[in-house]
Chain A
């Protein structure tokens, strides 16, 4: 009898100790807490597939630099080095390859196209960088129009026009990012005429530089660099028609300054959300501005320095993700720029990159285009884990006003990740709605949310005061009477003396 028990116990131990098969994720996911410390988090997305030109049977990609998922679910890849646009269907099969088109009976080709955009009617816009033009083709590869070099008195005649990325809004206006332009996006009207520059970043003037320049001679001034706005490197449009732009030219000192000041200013921001007038309307309510990594080694170390954001990808309710080219990470923020996920990394394994350049979403999956070391491009597909889905679902519910469902999600999220400040804040908000102020305070404290804590505390204080009003009033009354009697007595004693 005893032996059998012993045997069963041993077997149980053995079963528990045998490792189950699981795919190891080659990166560690994390988020940043209120103090700016990286806090480990469960993986929100896991890499599942790797696709490259060879496996598609169309020859290796060569410096492919952009990727676009159309509303019909087709994937367009700007295969820059091969001068072609590759179109894949939603099953990752090659549908067609656009490398030439017919214009007035004359055959034309692309030259190093770096950007693609697809309208809802499945019209293809190509930023034909090498030819200095934008080409619109319809869904059957027929030429529609060409938008060439912008002509305007504010553009110098010797300006070399190299469009690298573009979006087209519902009114058929074009917003183009061109190399070497720091006045913002180039806006073209539906006719293809250059209208104006829009959305140039505001210039931040450094107090020290401003002061020191007062003492510079003409010659010295001429030799210093001017205060110029930063150049944009990519542009995307969300479903509401707002334009997201990224830049990677902000200095590491400005980024560090913005982080340590918890800046909500749009001047030092590698990602911006522009409304049609070119004003930045990105909500920066997170604990830190959306600059990618908040903590990093200084320059000089391997992989040191600020994140270099090269692409942005939007989701419902203002949720957006940015791609860091330096450390190969993807940062997902909610509509208030609270950090949701950080995942990805540098390396040669599935799920890591060497030179990631484009980020997009197919349904709930992320796809990342990596130029690789030698330009041999490959696309990695990331699928969300249960944890990733839960967090997103909670944010969706919250934005839809379904607070009970959101709370249930956050509760579930906390089971996966007890460090999630956002989950605590979500729970706190729910407790606040249910007039459970003390619990709300507890959650807001865990989530380091001081303004909401203050709100909950105010209500809790009121509750406590009204509950114990009788006792408090009685104590004050007793004290007053006591002091009154005491002063009278001592006064009498003084008179007697």
Chain B
């Protein structure tokens, strides 16, 4: 019930972002459960979009579609954003906890679900000539979500708009850094593994 109540709040939040995000945090209008449901819904929307978008607008090779990869390509950026957001805003006197950040980010992405789901249906009944209509709504959902993300960041951490904007840019740079360090770590790990493996082989073959 709690989760459903939280999901219904989405319809209010996307049209009243400033009050919406404030109440989301302080009036406990949303909860972690509904946020996770939103992320799951987003993953499903994304998979459906890749799989079921009309042939004219679908540029994905359906023979090579891998659901695990598609889910990861939603969840991974989501987590990276949240982690990078948390890392930065703890240093920059942000007021939101990690839970707040997760909830805010999930709610901010809701236009992607609300607009893209019907657009999957629409894409199956329109032609190239009416494509402008399709692409307009797709980009509208993206811009809307980006706007909500910005407002959400500013409200949840009690930042001014300028500071929130700069923080968002820093978060994106932070994501790049996390990916870089992650790759570095894994390649190092791999090299250590291979080093130990070759030493083992050297010894075991000698005796």
Q: How far in angstroms is the closest Cβ of chain A from B133?
A: 14
B185 partner residues in chain A, CB cutoff 8 A: none
Segment at the interface with A among B9-17, B26-34, B122-130: B122-130
A461-B127 in contact (CB<8A) = yes
Q: Is A35 an interface residue (CB 8 A)?
A: yes
A461 partner residues in chain B, CB cutoff 8 A: 125, 127
B55-A35 in contact (CB<8A) = no
Residues in B55-104 with C-beta less than 8 Å from chain A: 55-56, 61
Q: Is A27 an interface residue (CB 8 A)?
A: no
CB within 8 Å: A-B pair count? 19
Within the assembled complex, what's the spacing in Å between the Cα atoms of A141 and B55? 63
Within the assembled complex, what's the spacing in Å between the Cα atoms of A254 and B61? 24
A487 partner residues in chain B, CB cutoff 8 A: none
Within the assembled complex, what's the spacing in Å between the Cα atoms of A35 and B62? 11
B61-A458 in contact (CB<8A) = no
Q: Which range contains the number of B residues in contact with the other chain?
A: under 10
Q: Which range contains the number of A residues in contact with the other chain?
A: 10 to 19
Within the assembled complex, what's the spacing in Å between the Cα atoms of A251 and B20? 54
B125 partner residues in chain A, CB cutoff 8 A: 461
Within the assembled complex, what's the spacing in Å between the Cα atoms of A454 and B61? 18
A35-B127 in contact (CB<8A) = no
A35 partner residues in chain B, CB cutoff 8 A: 61
Residues in A177-234 with C-beta less than 8 Å from chain B: none
Q: How far in angstroms is the closest Cβ of chain A from B131?
A: 8
Within the assembled complex, what's the spacing in Å between the Cα atoms of A267 and B183? 37
A457-B56 in contact (CB<8A) = yes
Within the assembled complex, what's the spacing in Å between the Cα atoms of A455 and B127? 7
Q: Is A283 an interface residue (CB 8 A)?
A: no
A458-B129 in contact (CB<8A) = yes
B128-A450 in contact (CB<8A) = yes
Within the assembled complex, what's the spacing in Å between the Cα atoms of A457 and B123? 12
Within the assembled complex, what's the spacing in Å between the Cα atoms of A444 and B126? 16
Look across to chain B and name the residue whose beta carbon is closest to the beta carbon of A457.
Answer: B127
Given A454-B127, A461-B127, 17 other A-B residues pairs in contact with their CB atoms under 8 A:
A35-B61, A445-B55, A450-B55, A450-B56, A450-B128, A451-B128, A453-B55, A453-B56, A454-B56, A454-B128, A454-B129, A455-B127, A457-B56, A457-B127, A458-B127, A458-B129, A461-B125
* B contact residues vs A (CB 8 Å cutoff): 55-56, 61, 125, 127-129
* A contact residues vs B (CB 8 Å cutoff): 35, 445, 450-451, 453-455, 457-458, 461
Q: What are the 10 tightest A-B residue pairs by CB atom distance, in nearest-first order?
A: A454-B128, A458-B127, A454-B127, A35-B61, A454-B56, A450-B56, A457-B127, A445-B55, A453-B55, A453-B56
